[in-house]
Every structure is written in structure tokens, then in C-alpha cells.
Amino acid sequence: MKRLVICEKNISARRIAHILSNGKARQGKIYGIYYYHFDGYIIVGLRGHIKKLDFPKEYSKWNEISPWELIKVEPVKKIVEKNIANAIRYLSKNVDEVIIATDYDREGELIGVEIIDLLPKNIKIKRAKFSAITPNEIKKAFENLDKIDFNLAKSAEARQYIDLIWGASLTRFISLASDQLGKDFLSVGRVQSPTLALIVEREKQIKDFIPKNFWKIKVRMEKDGIQFDAEYPKKIFDEEKAKEIYEKVKKENAGKVIFYEKKIKQDVPPPPFDTTSFLKEASAFASSSRAMKVAEELYMNGLISYPRTDNTVYPSLPFNSILKKLEKIYPQEVREVFKMLRSKPVAGKKFSKDHPPIHPVGVAKLDGLHAKIFDLVARRFMATLSKNDVIDVRKAEIEISGEKFVADGVLIVEKNWRKVYPVRLKEKNLPELIEGEEVRILEVKKRKDKTNPPKRYTEGSLIVEMEKMGLGTKSTRHEIISKLYERNYIMGKKIVPTPTAFAVVEALKKGAEMITKPDMTSHLEEEMNK
């Protein structure tokens, strides 16, 4: 039997061919497109979607066609990757079966379905589903071929239609209304616009914020040679009251312990990575779009699992086998993990059956951002298999001249998962105290401060907020943020909207306020996910 295998990219086609042929696949080229062949298999990679949804050509003149007409027009799909289409027509001529081996998600399903009308009629079509491009996963997928999920593909296509009609009609409307045409057109989108509105609203809150003065009172105390701070528990907005408390506390030499509590707590490792939590952590050293691009490259090279997932609960995985692979580059850390292996990996609150949480599946010599992203994924994985850290948490209430002050302390008693995933815990020592005892006062300080405005979004915090508000999907949020940067709507690591962003959001609020609200787009996402 002769089979044609369709992959999403050339890099994944090459790797899958290498796995299935045990390294014996030969490379060919047709219409400028590489393919790989061996023992009855031909494997070819696409470049993502080979078709683009657009309006008919006669609707391309912005000044002649009303934006409202676009709502009634039936968009058409056009082949944009003609060489790839010709290669598929040619390569599928004498095969008995076609296997779609694109990414197993909504977009991947549609990418695979788009090539069907290029194939000979009545040819058998099957689906290979996998979450990592490793020998075990690929061989298992090809031994257990499934059917194409046309409903999943249709849900991706529905998004394309909605996003095109919504985005194109409103983009033309606002660009024409503001006389911003050509390369200076103003872009509007179903997810993009409410996301931009969130950023603009946050900036308004920052600009409109009026800081208020308040005072804090801190007492430096000492017991058994250990110094610690006790603070007045509230911000004091009345200067006279702050002065009054400060003056009477300053006269005292000691305070009385009225409450003391010490607890030994289990500090659980963070849950496995889903896409949102991964991008949030990676945003410390890379933009979300760059982090996702690198993660996809690591996936296609068989080093990490599929990076687009909502899952934070591991299925049954060969944990020991993965650790043994990691031992080649993390010998000390893996030895530590085996010593402190927990009985069951940590599980998060989100579960889905399509793909496991992001985790390492192979190792290779890497550098630059690829090394950093892999290190983040590998260390998070090792942490999820490690025992809890043990921490000593202490709280105290101390009465000084009739006023209550509070002190706290936290110390790591037993470090386990933090040995492999260094999340900082700010340790603070609080000595053993006894209720009723007097504790010596060393110094009393009164400090003036101001209330702070809300923080600007970072890419990481914005992605978390978008998920919370139902804006976009795990696969699109980083792309939306990237578009906002590209279109000069936002700038900076701490995201600041440009004057153009303010103008766009204000214009939309006047003419179509619902476009700036997350409710409608999140409702559409829910409906399309059914």
C-alpha cells in the first residue's frame, strides 16, 4: 500500500519521515517543495494554511464599497500556496491512502481538511493524532489511525468567517470615518479590539489616578539576639493620627505579645504548564509571540510536547523515562528528583483530553532562547514530580501602648522542588515568642508614602487577563498581542497604548461600544467551542 502523509511544516515532515523510516528516508523535490519517501510512504510538509479566506476581488476597493455590504457577501477561499497545492496533486496521483498528520487541534484539523479537494476522488483519508514528535508517539499514532474530525475543522472555519467579516467591515468603517487609509488604516478585530480596550482603560485608570498620602509605623524589636519588625496593620491616612500613635509608641521600651502562632506548612510545587502559564513565565525573558515560536520549534524537533494546550493534569506518561533523558543535561537535578520523587505528580485545576501539559520529551544541545525555553519547561516538569517544600510560617500580634502591631516570618525548613525550579521565597525570621511576654523595642519609625495606581499590563499578565475574560484562545492570544505591537497600538515591556490606540477605542465606543466589550466575543468563543 502506498501512503501520502501530510504534515503542517517541512521540519515536522522531515522528522516524522526519519522516525518512520528508521533514518532511511530519501529526500525529493517537486515544484520547489521538499518531500521524503521510503517503503511505500511519501511525506510532505505544508506551510500552515494553503488557502486564505477573503472577499471576492470586486469588493477590494474601500472607497467604492460600503463596509455594510461586506456583511452580506459570501467570502471565498483562495489557494495562496500554489506550489504546495501542485505538489500535493502530483504526489497523491498514485497513492492508496492519505494520512493527515498536522497538529492535533482546531487549526491543524482545518489545515488538513483544506487539502482534501486537491486529492483524487474517493481516496481513503485517515488521521494521525499525537502530542509529541517522538518515536513512541509517532509510531503509536500511525498504528492507531483515526478519522478526520470535520466538526472540529468547521469550528476553525467558522472563526475564520466571523473574524474576516467582523474585522474587515469594522476596519473599513473606522478607517473611512477617520480618513486613515492606505498603510495608515486603523485595524479592528473581534478579539483585538476588546483587548486593546482593556489596555486603554488601564492607562486611563493610571492617568486619572490621584495618589493619597498615608503613613506607616514600623517598630524594630529584638529577642534572643534576633531582630524583627512589627508594623501597624493599616495604612494611616490621617497625619495627626499617625503622629499621635508614633509619639506614644516611641515612649515605650517594650511591647507585650498578645498572640503568637507557628505552623509548619507544605508548599506544593506549581502545577504543570498549560499555554497560558507557560507564556506568563516565559514573558520574563521573551515576548509571547517569540516564546511560542521557539516552543513550536522545540516541539517540531521532538524536544517538548505540543505547546498549545489548556491541560494542567498529566495523563499516564513515562515519567522515569523522561527523567532518564533529562539526566544527560541535568545530572544533579535529576538525581535530586529521584531522591524526592512524590507518589503522584502535581495536578492543576484545568483538564482536557486533547493534549497533555507542556513537558520535555527529548534532549539536544541548544543555545540562546531555545535553551532558555527548554530549561523553563524541563525545570517546571521536574518540579511537578518533586516533593513539597516544607516552610515554617509564624505570625505575632504585639501590643504597644494600647496599639496592636503585627509581625510575621517565613523560613524554608526543607527545600525540595525549589532545588530544581528556583522560585524565590522571601524569607523573614521571626523568633520564638511566648504570649504574655515583653519584647524589647529598639527603634520606632514613621514613614510617609503614597497610594499607587494600577500596574500596567505586561504580556504575561495580559495573556492571563485575556484568558480570564474569555478573549481569544490558547493558540491566538500571543498573536493578538503581537499584532497590537506591529500596528503601533501599543509599545514597551510594560504595555503603554499609543495615541492611535486611544483614538481607535474612543471611536469604537462612540459608534459601536459592544465591539470594545469582552462579553460578545467571549460568548462567541463559548458557542464555537461547543
Burial class (CB in 10 A: 0-12, 13-18, 19+), 12: buried
Q: How far apart are CA 426 and CA 408, in angstroms?
A: 12
CB 440 within 8 Å of CB 163: no
Q: What share of the chain is helix, strand, coil (3-state, %, to 5)?
A: 40, 20, 35
Catalytic machinery residues: 306
Sheet bearing 3-7, strands edge to edge: 26-30, 33-38, 41-45, 3-7, 97-101, 124-127
CB 9 within 8 Å of CB 300: yes
Burial class (CB in 10 A: 0-12, 13-18, 19+), 319: middle
Q: How many CB atoms lie within 10 A of CB 182?
A: 7
Q: How far apart are CA 133 and CA 362, in angstroms?
A: 9
At 68, the amino acid letter reads: W
Q: How far apart are CA 377 and CA 369, in angstroms?
A: 12
Angle at CA of residue 277, ends 272 and 281, nearest 5°? 105
Q: How far apart are CA 83 and CA 70, in angstroms?
A: 30
Closest CA to 229 of 241, 214, 216: 216
Residue 151 C-beta-side C-alpha neighbours within 13 Å: 3
- Strand 124-127 and strand 97-101: the pairing is parallel
